[in-house]
Amino acid sequence: MAVGVWGLRLWRAGPGGGAGWRFIATSPASQLSPTELTEMQNDLFNKEKNRQLSLTPRTEKIEVKHVGKFDPGTVFVMNKNISTPYSCAMHLSEWYCRKSILALVDGQPWDMYKPLTKSCEIKFLTFKDDDPGEVNKAYWRSCAMIMGCVIERAFKDEYVVSLVRAPEVPVITGAFCYDVVLDKRLDEWMPTKENLCSFTKDARTLIYKDLPFETLEVEAKVALEIFQHNKYKLDFIEEKASQNPERIVKLHRFGDFIDVSEGPLIPRTSICFQYEVSAVHNLQATQSSLVRRFQGLSLPVHLRAHFTIWNKLLERSRKMVFLTTGEYISMKKFSLKLSNHYYHNNKIIKKKEKRKKEKSN
């Protein structure tokens, strides 16, 4: 995957043009290989992470009170901006470390490895809670991010793969998704069963590595610099930044793969157990690009399914996920347009063949 990177500078819109930082091209620069691009992104991520850590030169103590069903009232004295919910879980028992997927910090869903910023109350969430809604959403987001990593790196270097976004879809849809724009030379490509198996194998490799999901909240201009090569991510970052006055954007990383995600996410990749990239669907083409929706299915290590049930769930996950009724109608119109196009083309071809045959006779 060869990605062209241009010389970039920040541009601030004037008062009449709306607030927001945007990158604009100034001069062509040398192309970065996928490896160099990944290194550049991680260098920027680490630089910002270290900068934020340096803002707390001395360790401050905070009190964290556990308000869960078991061991309620336990108070931990932790380090501000350093200690995480997982640090608190370690003080309780191994059970909390293994089973906890998210924390509720003063009632807000929180990543297990996200540092605590003040004294607070904490509760740990698992897949087997009475209401696992937040846990399920975090799991679906994390599975989609793993799939995004796999797709971005699955094609040969000469093909440009642009991740668009991982749509926020409920678990009841039957599949998690990632929308992707592939190189135009791949517009006619349709994945085979072997291709899907290859994607799945790559995903399972990441799962077996037991990689932690990190989270980092950054100013929009930092996120824009990290994703300067991807116009879809630049638009997504602007969208997220516009939703808060501080223009803060949340980034997540596992291994050396970084993405923009609201989160929260699961603690580690190894929480995934059964995992499969199950389908790829064409969305309506824009003026210049064809967007593909990659879909997958996964169950966590805490909720394993018998293979007969898994196969039924897998079959369901292959059906295209529609985010809205509008998208469904739009896709129906697009499909009808394509059908009419092929129908009329075939009709014209048959007429030409008939005339040719009549002339020869």
CATH number for 249 = 3.30.980.10
Q: Confirm whether 203 is domain-assigned.
A: yes
Res 21: pLDDT: 47
Res 115: pLDDT: 96
Say yes or no: 242 and 351 in one domain: no
Say yes or no: 152 and 281 in one domain: yes
Res 33: pLDDT: 83
Q: Which residue has the higher pLDDT, 204 or 334?
A: 204
Domain that holds residue 345: 329-361
Cα(351)–Cα(320) distance, rounded to whole angstroms?
36
Q: Confirm whether 34 is domain-assigned.
A: no
Say yes or no: 273 and 344 in one domain: no
Q: What is the mean pLDDT of residues 302-331?
A: 82
Q: Are 269 and 204 in contact (CB under 8 A)?
A: no
Res 353: pLDDT: 62
Closest CA to 154 of 291, 295, 34: 34
Whether residue 287 is predicted with pLDDT greater than 70 in this model: the reply is no
Q: Confirm whether 51 is domain-assigned.
A: no
Say yes or no: 182 and 277 in one domain: yes
Q: Confirm whether 160 is domain-assigned.
A: yes
Q: Confirm whether 345 is domain-assigned.
A: yes
Q: Confirm whether 29 is domain-assigned.
A: no
Whether residue 5 is predicted with pLDDT greater than 50 in this model: the reply is no
- Domain endpoint, select from 104, 132, 160: 132
The per-residue DSSP string of 112-166 comes to: TTSPP-SSEEEEEE-TTSS--HHHHHHHHHHHHHHHHHHHHHHS-TTS--EEEE-
Tokens of 269: 């990749």
What would you measure as the largest C-alpha separation in the chain, in angstroms? 96
Is the bond into 85 cis (omega within 30 degrees of 0)? no
Compute the Cα dihedral for 83, 86, 89, 90 and give only its sign: negative
Say yes or no: 154 and 210 in one domain: yes
| Antiparallel, parallel or unpaired: β 61-66 and 120-125 | parallel
Say yes or no: 175 and 102 in one domain: no
Whether residue 341 is predicted with pLDDT greater than 50 in this model: the reply is no
Say yes or no: 119 and 267 in one domain: no
Say yes or no: 202 and 297 in one domain: yes
* Confidence band for 57, pLDDT divided at 50, 70 and 90: confident
Res 25: pLDDT: 40
Sheet strands (E) in the chain: 6-12, 21-28, 61-66, 75-79, 102-105, 108-110, 120-125, 162-165, 176-181, 214-219, 248-254, 257-260, 272-282, 291-300
The type of residue at 19 is: A
Say yes or no: 215 and 290 in one domain: yes
Whether residue 335 is predicted with pLDDT greater than 60 in this model: the reply is no
Q: Confirm whether 341 is domain-assigned.
A: yes
* Domains contained in the chain, number: 3
Q: What is the mean pLDDT of residues 188-216?
A: 97
Whether residue 343 is predicted with pLDDT greater than 70 in this model: the reply is no
pLDDT for 85-101, tens place per residue? 999 999 999 999 999 99
- Domain endpoint, select from 132, 150, 174: 132
Cα(89)–Cα(66) distance, rounded to whole angstroms?
10
Q: What is the mean pLDDT of residues 333-346?
A: 43
Say yes or no: 229 and 177 in one domain: yes
Compute CA distances 271 → 135, 139, 211, 217, whole Å.
12, 9, 10, 24
Res 288: pLDDT: 76
Q: Are 44 and 218 in contact (CB under 8 A)?
A: no
Cα(61)–Cα(230) distance, rounded to whole angstroms?
40
Q: Which residue has the higher pLDDT, 227 or 16?
A: 227
Q: What is the mean pLDDT of residues 286-311?
A: 92
Whether residue 354 is predicted with pLDDT greater than 70 in this model: the reply is no
pLDDT for 254-280, tens place per residue? 999 999 999 999 999 999 999 999 999
Give the mean pLDDT of the chain: 86
Say yes or no: 202 and 181 in one domain: yes
pLDDT for 8-54, tens place per residue? 444 444 333 444 444 444 323 237 888 899 999 999 999 999 999 99
In CATH, what number is assigned to the domain containing residue 87? 3.10.20.30
Res 9: pLDDT: 40
* Confidence band for 286, pLDDT divided at 50, 70 and 90: low
Res 107: pLDDT: 96
Cα(190)–Cα(142) distance, rounded to whole angstroms?
25
Q: Confirm whether 27 is domain-assigned.
A: no
Say yes or no: 241 and 303 in one domain: yes
- Domain endpoint, select from 100, 117, 132: 132
Q: What is the mean pLDDT of residues 156-168?
A: 92
* Confidence band for 360, pLDDT divided at 50, 70 and 90: low
